[in-house]
Each structure stands twice: as C-alpha cells, then as structure tokens.
Amino acid sequence: MRRVIPDWLTSPEARRPTGTAKAELLELELAESTLPASSPDADATAGTVRSGPGGGFDAPSGDSPTRPTMRAVTPHSSTMDGSSAGGYPADPFATAGGEPRLPGSSGEHLLQQAYDTEKRARRFYDDQVLDHLNPRMKEFIAGIDLAFIATADGHGECDSSLRAGAPGFIEVLGDRHLAYPEYRGNGVMASLGNISENPHVGILLVDFVTELIGLHVNGKARILEDVDLRAIHPQLPSEFERGRKPERWVVVQVEEAYIHCRKHIPRMEPVERNRSWGTDDVKRKGGDHFAAKGTPRPWHDPQPQHG
C-alpha cells in the first residue's frame, strides 16, 4: 500500500513525490509557493494593494501562504481592442519585432505574469521543452500503445479522441516527424475533418503501466493515404495487428515536445479481455451505453423552423 503524504506538510523534502523519477525530474514536480505574509518582500498590511511595478493584491494574512497571488497585468493595447495581427493578444515576452521568444501561447504568457509563475514556467521551458524529438522521446514513443489526440476545426471548436494499437503503432519518421495510422472506424471523421480545416494538433502519450510518465507532442498535421506515405517512407511496416491495414496516416510535424510529470498519473495493470474485433454489432461494440439513442436532436427535424 502506497504511503499517503499529507498536503499540509510544509517541508519540500517531506512533500517529495514517491516513485522512480530521477532527482532532476522530481525537482520539477515541487511547486514554488508564493512568499508568506511574514516575508520582507510582502506588505505588512494584510489585504492591501501593492504599489510599484506589477501592482496586485495581497491575500489577507489569515490565508494560506501558498495561495496564489494575482498580480495586475496591463496588456498591450492590441490585447484589449483585438487590433493585433489575427486579433490575438500581444505576447508580453515577444521580441521588439513581435516575434515569439518562448514556447507557448500569448495567453499562457499573460497568465504567467498575472499569477506570478514566470520563474517556474521559464525553468520548464528551458529544461524540458524541445522543438524536436530526442533519442529518449523516440524510444518512449516506440513502446507506447495508446495516444490521446486533440484537434480543433477552423472555428476553434475542439474534439479529443483516442488512438491505440500494438506498442510502436506510432511511427517515428525522424527528429521532427511522426505518423499514426487511421483505420476503418465509425465514418464520422471528426479528427481528420478538423485537421483538414486546421492543421494544429496536440498529442498526449502516457505510460500508465511501467514508467508512469507522459509526453506531449504538439505540431502541425496533414493526412496522407497509405500508399502515398509508403512511397516516401518504404520502411513502414507491412504487417499489422489482426491483419488490418491503415487506410491513411496522420503525419505530424513536431513543434513542441515536453514531459507530463508522473505526479497524478495512476498506475494501471493490463488484463486479458475478449474483444469483438471488426464487428459492427452495436451491442458488442458497447451498445447505447449512455442512453443517447432516441433523444431528440435539432438535426432530426426534417423541416427546421426559421424565425
């Protein structure tokens, strides 16, 4: 039985997570607390507005010293009126020419300022975020048997899905490219449809069994038919689990690759189960598990009413 460590323990050593992570990885899991009320840098008067750069509001002294402190942030004018290129907020860490200087979005950079997490975020960017796959990441991907895929359409409407297969079903095509297969499914094409409108994709790979660690891979995707990708990468496998062959592949150009820490990843144990591979039988595939069948939908009305 795993020992439970109370959250209220204040010693960083006492709060050190259990597991098999190396020391340098464990250091990333220890969140830095904000300054306690008794700190020389904190205001002596509880609940007062600080003056000077950053401004902000200090929590009353009765609150927990680890409670996040919100700092006032004055965004660039384009953030407020949407006049920046594409209507997006101006990145506070961008270069003088407006080019991004750090990984991540303008929104996350603005919130790092607001919640005073810039130091921790910068350490993570510098220590853990790559713009390619290194040898250890490639080795990890080669042993993974499932992936969570996040996509969005041209309007920003999101979808998440699961892809799975035998270990190594995701093919590493180099330092900056990987590909995962698409097989015959329910025909909805939700993920592929989104990618056809918006190439941005986020992939989360998690080892729930052995290493208890995750890997994020973000980048731009494109859809290639199986025969077309094989013409470029003839080394792709020709034999697949249960004999099913991919209809097409999603090729991802890697822009960010970084760790997902093991702190909250549950340990799981694979068990044998009987699966109805290749069936179209509704009950054997899960049936109407969420009792959705028969519920009225707007698109069921053959003659929609227009006001």
HEC readout, 92-135: CCCCCCCCCCCCCCHHHHHHHHHCCCHHHHHHHHHHHCECCCCH
Least confident range from 57-66, 103-112, 137-146, 241-250: namely: 57-66
Amino acid making up residue 64:
S
Share of the chain above pLDDT 70, in %: 64
Phi, psi of 193 (to 5 degrees): -60, -45
- State how far the alpha carbon of 269 is from the alpha carbons of 5, 29, 200, 207, 210, in Å: 23, 24, 33, 11, 9
pLDDT tens digits, 66-108: 444 444 444 444 333 444 445 677 898 888 888 888 999 999 9
The fold of 135-264 is Pnp Oxidase; Chain A (2.30.110)
What torsion, rounded to 10 degrees, do the Cα atoms 282, 285, 291, 293 define?
-30
- The rounded distance, in Å, linking the Cα atoms of 113 and 121 is 10
Q: Does pTM surpass 0.75?
A: no
Q: What number of H helices and E strands is found in the chain?
A: 7, 7
Residue 67 or 216, more confident: 216
217 and 171 Cβ atoms separated by less than 8 Å: no
Residue 6 or 183, more confident: 183
- The rounded distance, in Å, linking the Cα atoms of 215 and 211 is 11
- DSSP per-residue codes, 182-214: E-S-SS--HHHHHHHH--EEEEEEEETTTT-EE
- The rounded distance, in Å, linking the Cα atoms of 48 and 84 is 34
219 and 257 Cβ atoms separated by less than 8 Å: no
What integer pLDDT is reported at residue 307 of this predicted model? Answer: 53
What integer pLDDT is reported at residue 242 of this predicted model? Answer: 66
What integer pLDDT is reported at residue 297 of this predicted model? Answer: 86
User: Domain boundaries in the chain?
Assistant: 135-264
Put residue 241 in one of left, alpha, beta given phi > 0 → left and psi -120 to 50 → alpha. beta
- Please, what is the average pLDDT of the chain? 75
Residue 29: enclosing H or E segment and its boundaries?
A: helix 23-29
What integer pLDDT is reported at residue 51 of this predicted model? Answer: 35
Q: 256, exposed or middle or buried, with CB in 10 Å at 0-12, 13-18, 19+? A: middle
Least confident range from 57-66, 176-185, 269-278: namely: 57-66
What is the band of 112 on the pLDDT scale with cuts at 50, 70, 90? very high
